[in-house]
Amino acid sequence: MNSDVHLKEFAVVGNPVAHSRSPAIHHHFGQQTGIALHYRIIESPLDAFTSVVRRFFEEGGSGLNVTVPFKQQAWELAHNHLSQRALLAGAVNTLWMKDGELHGCNTDGIGLLADLRRLGNDPAGKRILLVGAGGAARGVIFPLLEAGASRLHIVNRSPRKAVDLAGQMAEQLPDFAHQLSGGGLHEASGNWDIVINATSSSLSGETPPLQGVQYAPEALAYDMVYAATPTPFMQAASAQGARIADGLGMLVAQAAASFAIWNGIQPDIEPVLPELRKQLLAS
Ligand code: ATR
């Protein structure tokens, strides 16, 4: 750990994690808000996540981000003190210590909401198609409903998973049950205001074949993955007349939400985004 007592220590733990952009983002936020911090990358062995977390906080660390494949383990470690978002997401990406106890939140959904709003597509009153039924999709369902989505239809390559996820969420959130439904990719028909790709299809250069999907005027197609060039999902949506965005803004906004939890100050994501986009294009 750094010997400078005024420097707060943060890190992201994952495996693989070497290419994480979190240190650059958090150092930028630190400069912007005047908080002296050091943010590093910890690649944890797959079977040592718990001891890595314990050691980090025993050595005085202030806050830890958690990424693939440890978000569920982080949820279990912090199970006594989870935010409602984390509880419903079943995953934790932000850990901190308070009164000697580990606390956890999931800021992915907050990040998505912030980015949708930045792009002029507040989910309030919107019909939303959510593509995917894995961890990434689960993490954003409650935030989208809480933000006032009028409809949230989940479709997935394995239809059963989407139906089950919609059912579980409806059970846990009875007030929102009538907005929720699930089905297969062949059941994507509708006139959608926002279509979110929460699958990992873009990572393999594919796009989910969405049957019957229609984009309302001014509709946004949002890929939670980010890339130097538009993903196949974004290209297909653009050809249908939708506005498009990738998940770089969500990445920066979820980091900003973690930063705010740890430091009590909300950083501005706007100055960070162009810089990151430039780095992404150059990489
Ligand atoms: P993550 O944590 O990123 O959500 P995950 O939990 O493994 O990862 O979920 C991956 C999601 O992407 C799933 O919804 C998966 O669909 P299946 O449940 O049918 O496997 C979806 N997915 C991955 N590759 C895909 C592809 N090429 N086309 C469509 N969906 C895909």
Q: Which pLDDT score is estimated for 66?
A: 97
- Classify residue 2: in a domain, yes or no: no
> Does 126 participate in catalysis according to the annotation?
no
Q: Within the chain, which residues score under 70 in pLDDT?
A: 1-5
pLDDT at 5: 53
For ligand 1, atom 27: residue with the closest CA: 201
Q: Are residues 149 and 217 in the same domain?
A: yes
pLDDT at 187: 98
Whether residue 113 sits in one domain with residue 242: yes
Q: Whose CA is nearest to atom 11 of ligand 1?
A: 199
Question: Ligand 1 centre from 207 Cα, in Å?
Answer: 11
- Number of domains within the chain: 2
206 Cβ below 6 A of ligand 1: yes
Model confidence, pTM: 0.94
- Domain extent, residue 99, equals 8-106+250-282
Clarify whether residues 56 and 115 are in a common domain.
no
Inter-residue contact 221 to 233 (CB < 8 Å): yes
**What is the per-residue burial (b if ≥16 Cβ within 10 Å, else e) of 217-255?**
eebbbbbbbbbeebbbbbebbeeeebbbbbbbbbbbbbb
Q: Are residues 37 and 162 in the same domain?
A: no
CB of 220 closer than 6 angstroms to any ligand 1 atom = no
> What CATH number should be reported for the domain holding residue 197?
3.40.50.720
pLDDT above 70 covers a percentage of the chain that reads: 98
pLDDT of residue 95: 98
pLDDT in tens, 60-97: 999 999 999 999 999 999 999 999 999 999 999 999 99
Note whether 66 and 116 are same-domain residues.
Answer: no
One domain, residues 51 and 113: no
What CATH number corresponds to the domain at position 28? 3.40.50.10860
Q: What is the pLDDT of residue 1?
A: 52
Write down the pLDDT at residue 147: 98
CA 201 to chain centre: 16
pLDDT in tens, 158-174: 999 999 999 999 999 99
| Predicted local distance difference test score (pLDDT) of residue 283 | 83
Please tell me whether residues 140 and 224 are part of one structural domain: yes
In this prediction, residue 6 carries a pLDDT of 75
